[in-house]
Structure 1
Amino acid sequence: MTLYTVETGNFKLDGGAMFGVVPKTIWNKTNPADNNNLIDIAARSLLIEDGNRLILIDTGLGNKQSDKFFSYYHRWGNHTIENSLANLGFSKDDITDVFLTHLHFDHSGGCIQWNKDRTGYEPAFKNAKFWTNEEHWLWATKPNAREKASFLKENLVPMQESGQLCFIERGNSTFIKTSELGFGIRFVDGHTDKQMLPYIDYKGKTLVFMADLIPTVGHIPLPYVMGYDTRPLLTLDEKNNFLNSAIKDNLLLFFEHDAHNQICSIKETEKGARVDNIFSFDELF
């Protein structure tokens, strides 16, 4: 097995929304805001090469939305998923599986693209299976008013119509080892219903793809919960349980949304769980 980071494109989000009830004077120390109160956000995917399979975890925002849509998110930098894959010697047609932690547009938007004459949409990964779970699919396709703007039909319907949509079988457990893809999955419900966090054993370490449970290094303290979360008190419990296990089992946190930090380890302090060491992917592996 070989792992690669795939930068799909950076954007910005409102810092207050990203940190909920935490005052700006505190979160601005770790995630400094610009003059519009916006902070840097990454959309960092992880690519797993395992035998004849290439498994991509999340796909970023994609590029099919309107200029007006993207004006809300202030994209910056030069990263695209196409260029990042090409730099690794791959193309989108090489991807065999796309695993989606959840179906918000900044995680699933890159799954679908315009067709050649821009009359409709088609899968961007024509040879891949798209993996979610049935409970989250139902949550996303019949969205509540709070999340409706994050679950875009043009990202979802073409997956199903293509016949490439597949469901992870969860059962009743909050943690499973998926036979379909070969890695562990922790289910968490605070941010959105049945979000899935991959646990990947690699070179003697366990890397956890944090998605939106802990989006950046600045979100590690327990009360630092996003305003976007549907069940913030549940997020508190899920973060606490995860951070305890991260300390106990020496887990490494891989950040999808931290534009400036890729991976960290965690230690226990008198104030609770805090960052131990920060690593780039290349220096760690």
Structure 2
Amino acid sequence: MRRRRFLVTGLGVAACLAGCGDRHAGRAPGAYEILGGGERWSRVAEAFTQVARGAGYPVGGAGPVTTITITGLPALAAAELNAAESPLHGTTPLARLAGEVEVVLVPRDSGLATFDAFGARLRADPTGTPLAGGPQGAPDHLLFGLIARGLGADTRQVDYTGYPGISEVAAALLAGRAVAATGPLAGWRPYIDRGRVRVLAVSCAERFPGLDAPSLLELGVRVDFASWCAAVGPGGMPQESREAAIGMCEEVTGSPGWQRTCREGDWMPIPLAGDRFAAWVVSEVRRTKAVLRDLGLLESGKGTT
């Protein structure tokens, strides 16, 4: 199975900020340890660590350590599907970091020339419009659920098949087993660059730089979506420690190094920190649960808080 390119490039961004020293060491006692909440997030944690160190923050080393964990939407959705503990449970929300841009694609020779044509077919015949993407309940599936809802299609009738990786999704799409597919732009880049598929839309609020495709919002579908990742601290963080960690997240996500890392990985920086991020997380959890229920993957009445 082909691994997704997940913030692989740009991990050496600390070089552009090197020489700063630990100028932030006095803001809070001890140092930070940045951990990926699972293999999917390990490279994000590495990128964050590099940029934070380059900006002069004490990451790693001796003394008391505050552990910051990187997690995100896939882990949240998986927990809901499996009635497991949320990755946000017992944590202190700190900041949203970045989002993996998703694309809606069709084969190069598809008769669906535009997203509007695809949307009209999905509204008219959701069961006869087979769709493909990552595993059921994962961000790709959530995006098609949001699109169906935004178009006024019967979400529970959406014919979606989940695959373990993009190579399998692409094989299904190009063999005609799916009318359209969705997935992360980074993973689909080789197919796009070789002209094997056409991008009908991107999931972010505005057009993505370097890609000639409209956003869903531009097309009149009220969906702004990304497979986001975020930084959370341990539960019950003292206020001083929380504020210091939030300040670090804000400086990292606003730095040229982080911007470059996101750009090279086909991610978009979507920084949001502190109380605003905590409030956003509540609304995002609700949206995720609602889409899972719409798709028939989560029983109605469960997980409503």
What's the TM-score, normalizing by structure 1? 0.33
Query: Which structure shows the bigger proportion of residues in helix conformation?
Result: 2
TM-score of the pair, normalised by structure 2: 0.31
Higher strand share: 1
